[in-house]
Amino acid sequence: METIRINNTVLEFDRIIYVDAVKGNDETGDGSKDNPFKTLQTAIDNSKEGNAIKLAEGIYNVEGFNNLIAINNLSYIGNKKSIIELNTGHGLDKNPTVSFYRVIFRPSNNFTANKVLLSGGTVKRTWNTLFYNCVFEDPFNKLIKGERHSCYIVADGSSSFEHDYKNCKFINCVALDTPIFTTWNDSTVKTIEVKNCATNINSLVNPNNESGHSRNVEVISGLTNVSFDTDYNITSEDWQNTGTGLNPDGTQAHIGVYGGEFGWGVWLPPQPIDSISYSTNQKSVGDTILISWGESLGATRYELQYYINNEWITINNNITNTEYVYTFEQPNPAARFRVRG
């Protein structure tokens, strides 16, 4: 068995196949970490059930979603800039059993105009599809938007059947310009989970606010009408520590791809208390002190905590430099502070 660690979670697979769009080689590569394949399709062709494909940064083009689910129980693990481009919108040709971690999905510039990247097709399917901290985007404006089935993935339960959503989840994902997932006229029993996800439009699961849309989809701690920067950071409010579940550092989950168990970015444990510089002496209410600390590798924000009454209290979790002026709200001559990067 082979393992790969994402933040604090260790995932185990029969084999991990490596692919690198820049440094890989389909002719001489063997899919190992030191000798990766170049194209995603070659990695898929050399994989077996229970394997994982680790994608380096780069753009990986495949014909459509059915190529990604051709092998049962396959996992795809990307990073901040692992992009899978699809040329064609597919209808499912089999029961999907697949997991995606930290992957960016988008239609390619050659994508044939369609409402969706993937549809449920005309045959009843059993869905085992897990998306963790993935981005769905349409930078070339290839998807038809604002119509009944406009979204990235649609599972249209027609009047003759309803799909079996055995394990269908979208966790800490981002969907831009069109909903992430929809169903139509399915039952009201919640069998699909969309949790801690965010979008820049008015719904994660309903393109035009029709009552028959996504009745079996449970949206948990979702954010709509938010703004993003070019790295998919949410730049509007209410995303930090407002989700369901935990971040890797044990704090309440953020919403979007920078939160949750598989959150993007570098997650560091609290720095030792002796790495922080401050002097309290006998401080009274209203007194201030300057707290400073060394830069943590890869950290873009810091959380400062204060120990009082036998517990750690967060003072500020969005500090962008390495110092902070704290004003005492009550006397505490033995004040203790710590920082998380």
DSSP 111-123: PPPBS-SEE--SS
> Percentage of residues in the chain with pLDDT exceeding 70?
90
Closest CA to 95 of 61, 131, 129: 129
Neighbours of 55 (CB within 10 A): 27
pLDDT at 299 (0 to 100) = 59
Phi–psi pair at 273, nearest 5 degrees = -60, -30
Asked whether residue 166 carries a pLDDT value surpassing 50, the answer given is: yes
The model carries a pTM of: 0.80
CA 199 from chain center: how many Å? 12
Q: Is the pLDDT of residue 180 over 80?
A: yes
Task: Give the pLDDT mean for 327-340.
Answer: 71
> 115-126 pLDDT, tens per residue?
899 998 888 899
Q: What per-residue confidence (pLDDT) applies to 303?
A: 80
Q: Would you state the structure tokens that stand for residue 233, as one six-digit string?
A: 């950071």
Each residue's pLDDT tens digit, 42-72: 999 999 999 999 999 999 999 999 999 999 9
SS3 40: helix
Residue 220: band (very low, low, confident or very high) from pLDDT cuts 50, 70, 90: very high
pLDDT in tens, 69-107: 999 999 999 988 999 999 999 989 999 999 999 999 999
Residue 315 tokens, joined? 């003072």
Answer left, alpha or beta for residue 30, where phi above 0 means left and psi between -120 and 50 means alpha.
alpha
Lowest mean pLDDT among 102-116, 121-135, 152-166, 272-286: 272-286
Instruction: Report whether 36 contacts 23 (CB < 8 A).
Output: yes
Please report the DSSP string for 170-183 in residue order: EES-EE-SS-SEEE
Any residues with CB less than 8 A from the CB of 244 and at least 6 apart, and which? 195, 196, 220, 221, 253
The closest alpha carbon to 306, from 286, 281, 289, belongs to 289
